[in-house]
Structure 1
């Protein structure tokens, strides 16, 4: 009978049933973020009520019924968690670009893409804007001439800034910064037009500001002891302050896949905790009285927990660091409870805690790569233990000198294989020599950099930290040399075109099934992974893309995407090329194709479509003539649609729909805008009182234009 078969399956999977709890919970969160609409509060309340009824019912069911009911409830719980989180973090977002005098308190300091200091402000005042519509936080890149002394935690600053809402995708389906900003409660970004000045009201007394002040003070101290790029790297891994890292160094680290050594993650937290654990345990072990009477392992675990918590606070307590601490804390608590420390159960518990606190982290590359690598390492090394050749390398004395190298190589291979598809999906690159870079660089991080850093932190209050921090700098210098060497090798990076979200979901589903399912049926997990790669390979890129301001467009050619201009709109240009899997620069892409470039006018011919014309002038006198001669007319300064059958992309379309993508099939165009208002909080077009033009004057002309 079916019931008997289901009962047999549940019994066979019994040891791993608990591991499916965070998976099903995460599935619900994924469903929430993929919904085409925002669930109304009453829907969430109804689902929460149903979950409570289901929970009460569980106690009246047998084992099989209880498992099935909980399995059905967990995705619903994930949907509710995502919806509630979105409501809790809700904060105003400015509705349009504006220049205004702003004022706020410094709560964060980073560096912009143009290498200028960038501050995060809270307690924001935007003069001329209703306080009820003022964002909770804004981020401003500072103008040259700003006094560095005011870039300190708790300082209240003011200045004239050009602000805009957080940017939408550079193309339909592209990376949507608005969602990230929504959950960070970031309501505006921009740049200062004048040097910032300090005003009355500076406050550094609250706990968050105390931690921020300590972080920045430690960062300055480290960079004073270890000057240059080594000190900037050291302050980044210990305090989270990456504002001093040179862009060239960042590029080398990214190309060589060693950038994960800069971002405070599970590696840093585990290395720091391991260093504290080893120093305390073996330091006490050399004292015979302590070694004979005290539980040194548990004492060391307590100190590692405290040290990790201090690291969490000092480094900024962002979501990635919180996730790292939770995972590390689960392992250390297992040590205190005399339980196996590193198991899939501990990782499952960590994932459940992180997703409960911040459901949005599921959509972020850091969460996905961190847990994928950890799960793969645990499952991979568990599988290796059953192989004769692996056992020989771990037990045979002839392998004792090669054993550390083999371990690091296998760790890099397993973790790299697990994270490569995720990295390719989010960053559109595959590193050819990532294994080599990690094999050469990671040992220095674990053996030299982090232990020296921990000793330096311990000795800092006594003024004796110069030597360990200097040693740390030597290790960092070696890592940066490795990064520069690997990134300079020919073909270090291969571009990968963007794929659909369903591909990433299927890859993760197949990988989880391979690891968690018991029995030969686990190999069924290969099927969704193969389907994911097929869908990825077949996913079509747009034939034409127009930037959200209309001043840049790109056309797909046999050589790759050809861009209309060689500079300007750098972010959009880089995003399009990356999503194409194209490693060319904007200037190289602009040299492709056949563009007729004149003052305020650019024209090119697209096979199967016809001419695409860009007009930068404000005068619409030539509108009818241009539209009659073009298949697509881009005029970002025109609001009224000219007569004719061309596809007209003007100011209103760009304002309300953002970047435009066009797919061509047998002479017919399928058009999609990037800013489709799906009703999600981060996609809504906020109305803060600005008078808008009537978008109804700008409707597509030809009947062949479809909505994708």
Structure 2
């Protein structure tokens, strides 16, 4: 029997074709992709076994074309860092902070070379310093200002967030910030859907205390700006993140209200019953209300997917050709992929479709004796079926989540959300009635929140897992499938064993007498993980940008967890500069740390002072401090803790930000103490460091440069690169390589991974050869 043109087999084949492209390091030429679309569409249209193959070709070709189009929208790399004067309309809801506001802009007019940006989407920030104040930026308003733009660029680390992938998925052409704020002008006031959302959000905030308003605005409008990092942490620990913003379930709930209104309308107009049958009126009411609510939510992707599935079912009903849940799911999947193949890059795509798919497969077998039993079974299906993807995308699992969801889902979806939506429905007619509904919704959510905070305070509530391999996820998906088969299916205990590679993966640790260096990509800053067979040391924790991310929390902690680190045996903060120590507090809060070492004069209470002569051995690896000497005053960079690590004759030197004077002292040390195979280039390649005498004394074969892409300091300096070239030192840097993983031991120095090169993707800028500098070879000479 030939596969149906829009059935499950064709939908799966189309998805497979789209997925294959996301692993490409480079996209095929567009003429070739266009030919594939034509060939695939022809095969798809023909009945027969080749139809899924045609759909796969269409998926591959469309994903390639959309990827090329999205990349073409981005600001060319050669224009990154340049200024531009432009006009544009504010998109979405701006996020305000104490001294900054962040927003997205659709460019409507621009001057000079920037005219190519017209119609494109930018992500911008507007920063101020006291006594200046931030402007009120209304959603939907039109502005003219001068900005400085950059090509979308992120940090590439194990377990880290891939901003370049997100920028591609959302078609963000550039990021940047407003310059000359005093010359910025608002041309038109706020209008449109986003402005209406903002007005409703303000209405809710005026009717409720902030402790309640933040939840009601999130649940009713998808406006999560009021939720703090601590709020999100509670939601993650209790497994309720999927409910707090507008989800597909809420769209379905609104569609149910629309169906009810359609039935009431049909009864109220008896003269038109013959012309408009009740099923059609009910379906039309559900579809219209669901579409309106999706628009009010800002067309968030989960709501759009749900709307498509509802539309498929209801349009089929309007046409008197009803479809089952599986057919509707397949049709919606095909519609989403044809409209936007890049939606597969978002975790929400997978969690939404796969969650519905699991339920659609298991629903016919769920116990129908009462309401509670099927609900509990559905929760079990969702938890087990989505666990592999949750670990793949987020590297975490909530232990109390399944039980919390049993209460949280009906409480939020059947009590809190309906009251919040009722308030919005009442708002045009009666402020008092709207306020009463919102206040009841907020109070119910606050009662639940008190319990959630207590549950989240349980230390094991949120379990972090190492970064899984694709094979481990595939095995876990197979295990979930087998475990969800009907009762009596043999081999289920054995199938559960397939979960082990996901939940207890084998960690690639050094052997006795070896150690690893993992230089993390923290932009213009430093953080390096040093690993032995059974111990972990963190050298510096990256910056905490005053107007941006705390990279200790955003990069360092996820990378440690991705490597399977559960406890730090030591953390060395080389000195007090923000780019080295800024993320230290976040690391200590997020992970058990046995001791923290820092230089005298800056070390805070509870820290141990590092000084020359301190040494210890872990698993056949010797750690020793070469600087500062006893009684050395705290002089910032010059007081950096200089750490030397050695195993079986192979060594690394981590000197922080020392300058030439300290380098001169180290160069006079005995050769066996100063010598190192790997050198962490001092002070990010500044001309104040890396003197010729120091390089000659250390004689490294490989230098590592912790540096930010296109940093404002121009580091590493060309004159410094020339010095390393003179001594034939190979260089690798985080700006071009992302995170860098080395292993040192009896076999010498092994470069095990450079993430930008070894995990290449077409949306990522990567220099194939290595560092991007014409210095030495990317592999050490010895």
TM-score bracket relative to the smaller structure: 0.7 to 0.9
- C-alpha spacing 1:352/1:573, structure 2 compared with 1 (3 Å): same
Is the CA contact (8 Å cut-off) linking 1:28 and 1:78 kept in structure 2?
A: yes
Asked if 1:158 corresponds to 2:197, the answer is no
SS class of match (1:139)? strand
- C-alpha spacing 1:409/1:172, structure 2 compared with 1 (3 Å): closer
SS class of match (1:313)? helix
Structure with the larger RCO, 1 or 2 (CA within 8 Å, 6+ apart): 1
Paired with 2:341 and 2:135, the residues of 1 have a C-alpha distance of 37
Aligned to 2:102: 118
Aligned to 1:662: 742
- C-alpha spacing 1:18/1:219, structure 2 compared with 1 (3 Å): same
Is the CA contact (8 Å cut-off) linking 1:628 and 1:644 kept in structure 2?
A: no
- Give the alignment partner of residue 55 of structure 2, picking from 74, 84, 98: 74
- Give the alignment partner of residue 33 of structure 1, picking from 12, 22, 40: 22
Runs of at least 5 residues in structure 2 that lack an aligned partner in the other structure: 511-515, 545-550, 568-585, 598-622, 629-635, 655-679, 708-714
Paired with 1:525 and 1:360, the residues of 2 have a C-alpha distance of 37
| Alpha-carbon displacement from aligned partner over 1:104-126 (angstroms, at most 9, x marks no partner) | 43123343899953111121778
Paired with 1:436 and 1:677, the residues of 2 have a C-alpha distance of 41
Is the CA contact (8 Å cut-off) linking 2:159 and 2:467 kept in structure 1?
A: no
Paired with 1:134 and 1:80, the residues of 2 have a C-alpha distance of 27
Aligned to 1:353: 335
Asked if 1:374 corresponds to 2:360, the answer is no
Task: Please show how residues 150-299 of structure 1 align to structure 2 within 5 Å.
Answer: 150-158=137-145, 163-171=149-157, 174-192=160-178, 198-199=184-185, 201-202=187-188, 210-278=192-260, 280-281=262-263, 283=264, 295-299=277-281
SS class of match (2:423)? helix
- C-alpha spacing 1:19/1:694, structure 2 compared with 1 (3 Å): closer
Paired with 1:458 and 1:355, the residues of 2 have a C-alpha distance of 33
Aligned to 1:149: 136
1:160 CA drift (Å) = 5.7
Paired with 1:595 and 1:259, the residues of 2 have a C-alpha distance of 45
- C-alpha spacing 1:100/1:659, structure 2 compared with 1 (3 Å): farther
Aligned to 2:619: none
Paired with 1:450 and 1:296, the residues of 2 have a C-alpha distance of 27
| Alpha-carbon displacement from aligned partner over 1:279-303 (angstroms, at most 9, x marks no partner) | 554x569979799988555433321
Aligned to 1:587: 588
Paired with 1:134 and 1:539, the residues of 2 have a C-alpha distance of 48
SS class of match (2:421)? helix
- C-alpha spacing 1:275/1:200, structure 2 compared with 1 (3 Å): closer
| Alpha-carbon displacement from aligned partner over 1:112-166 (angstroms, at most 9, x marks no partner) | 89995311112177888654478922212332454453333223153565x5432
| Alpha-carbon displacement from aligned partner over 1:645-674 (angstroms, at most 9, x marks no partner) | 76534xxx4443333233457433124333
Is the CA contact (8 Å cut-off) linking 1:27 and 1:78 kept in structure 2?
A: yes
Task: State the superposition RMSD in angstroms.
Answer: 4.2
SS class of match (2:106)? strand
Q: Which is further off, 566-575 or 503-512?
A: 503-512
1:193 CA drift (Å) = 6.6
Paired with 1:136 and 1:595, the residues of 2 have a C-alpha distance of 53
| Alpha-carbon displacement from aligned partner over 1:161-199 (angstroms, at most 9, x marks no partner) | 5x5432334326854221221232213324557757651
Runs of at least 5 residues in structure 1 that lack an aligned partner in the other structure: 1-9, 60-65, 385-389, 395-402, 687-692
Paired with 2:260 and 2:489, the residues of 1 have a C-alpha distance of 40
- Which structure shows the bigger proportion of residues in helix conformation? 1
Asked if 1:320 corresponds to 2:295, the answer is no
SS class of match (1:675)? helix
| Alpha-carbon displacement from aligned partner over 1:207-266 (angstroms, at most 9, x marks no partner) | xx5111112122222222233132222222222222222332222112212111123221
Paired with 2:169 and 2:18, the residues of 1 have a C-alpha distance of 14
- C-alpha spacing 1:21/1:247, structure 2 compared with 1 (3 Å): same
- C-alpha spacing 1:22/1:605, structure 2 compared with 1 (3 Å): farther
Paired with 2:323 and 2:493, the residues of 1 have a C-alpha distance of 30
Is the CA contact (8 Å cut-off) linking 1:563 and 1:586 kept in structure 2?
A: no
TM-score by length of 2: 0.73
Asked if 1:139 corresponds to 2:123, the answer is yes
SS class of match (2:556)? helix
1:79 CA drift (Å) = 0.4
Paired with 1:82 and 1:74, the residues of 2 have a C-alpha distance of 12
Aligned to 1:423: 390
Aligned to 1:544: 518
TM-score by length of 1: 0.80
Q: Which is further off, 634-643 or 214-223?
A: 634-643
SS class of match (1:461)? coil
| Alpha-carbon displacement from aligned partner over 1:272-321 (angstroms, at most 9, x marks no partner) | 2223334554x569979799988555433321211111112221113333
Aligned to 1:473: 442
Aligned to 1:572: 555
1:376 CA drift (Å) = 1.4
Asked if 1:612 corresponds to 2:643, the answer is no
Paired with 2:776 and 2:109, the residues of 1 have a C-alpha distance of 36
Aligned to 1:6: none
Paired with 1:290 and 1:627, the residues of 2 have a C-alpha distance of 97
- Count residues with an aligned counterpart: 654
- Give the alignment partner of residue 673 of structure 1, picking from 739, 751, 754: 754
- C-alpha spacing 1:578/1:219, structure 2 compared with 1 (3 Å): farther
Paired with 1:504 and 1:113, the residues of 2 have a C-alpha distance of 39
Aligned to 2:456: 487
Is the CA contact (8 Å cut-off) linking 1:301 and 1:335 kept in structure 2?
A: yes
